[in-house]
Amino acid sequence: MTAKTYLATNPSIWTGRVDGDTYDVYRWHQKVDIIDLNVSEIPDLSFGHQGIAIVGFMCQEGVKRNKGRLGAVDGPYELRKACANLPVHFPQEMKLIDVGNIQCINEDMEGAQKDLGDMVAQLLIKGYRPLVWGGGHEIAYGHYLGVKKFIEEKHPGKTLGILNLDAHFDLREPDPLPSSGTPFYQMGMDFKKKGEEFNYLVIGIQKNSNTQRLYNTANELGVKYISGRRITEADKVGTTHKLTAFVDKVDFIYQTTCMDVFAAHFAPGVSASAYNGIEPNPTFMKLFKKIYKSGKVISSDIAELNPSLDIDKRTAKLAAALSFEIVKA
């Protein structure tokens, strides 16, 4: 039985160019299997095979509570369209499935986060690596709930690292409700209650986008961060060293990308644009690929794609390029 928040994917979204029917000319829309969980179950993976499971998180209630620009609710729809024509560069035996969406109904963000967590945990237990497309960055707390549930059930005692590409810490205290600005504070409190170390690394932080209190909170919680101005060729040794130290310290990684980490001319379609964000240049892409080459990333998401504010689909295309690297890895 599916949750009331569940919405199956319309197969017509996954359409695009067809260059032939041999695998060497396939595009994602020819490879993806669309699963309607109202009528089917998540397919089992064959022994030794890998699979990516796409999930949409159609929610912007957290952005609304955080007084951001609305429109991210349509992010999963636009990102599917942007990825449909991507070429297939992964083994034929690897599964790529789309299991539908979790919606936010009647402003019940917390309910949507819980249902997303249940979906993520179920996919991980089945052996898939979830790729969740948002939606606001409130996606992060729901996604984390699922990853945490999976580790507690299947890998007790193993450590989780949370790696966020973001211009913001998102360490606000709920005031009084959680929002898209609070998910990592909520995670930090969860770790604190359990007496465990909060392994949280943020890459792309912009000083003019975070108050001094947020820096203080980050320091109090032991958060590691790399400033956006450090994502350069000149600073690549230092940033790589900091990333490697973080990766080596944990057993599993949940990786989340907020599209507002990028400069506004590369990613105009976001809830809170950053004129001085980072560039998706070769230095950044090497860093991004290094995260996935670690083999420790078990679940990923992309947040804050706002199609209503996008220009020439730049943000959607950039999010699709990141998704390409995640799946290819």
Annotated binding-site residues read 137, 166, 168, 170, 258, 260
Distance CA 267, CA 145 (A): 28
Residue with tokens 């609710």: 73
Binding-site entries for Mn(2+): 137, 166, 168, 170, 258, 260
Q: Which long-range contacts (CB under 8 A, 24 or more apart) does 194-199 make?
A: 196/159, 197/159, 197/222, 198/222, 198/223, 199/159, 199/160, 199/161, 199/162, 199/246, 199/249, 199/250
| Three-state secondary structure call for residue 255 | strand
The CA distance from 307 to 311, in Å, is 8
* 73 touches 60 (CB < 8 A): yes
Residue 279 and residue 81: Cα distance in Å, rounded?
Answer: 23
Pairing of strands 6-7, 95-103: antiparallel
Give the span between the Cα atoms of 266 and 179, in whole angstroms: 25
> Going along the chain, which residue ranges are E strands?
6-7, 33-34, 51-58, 95-103, 129-134, 160-165, 199-205, 224-227, 252-258, 297-303
CA distance 110 to 112: 5
Q: What angle separates helix 183-193 from helix 139-154, to the nearest 10 degrees?
A: 30
CA angle 282, 72, 305 (to 5 degrees): 10
Question: What distance in Å separates the CA atoms of residue 254 and residue 296, rounded to the nearest whole number?
Answer: 9
Distance CA 207, CA 212 (A): 9
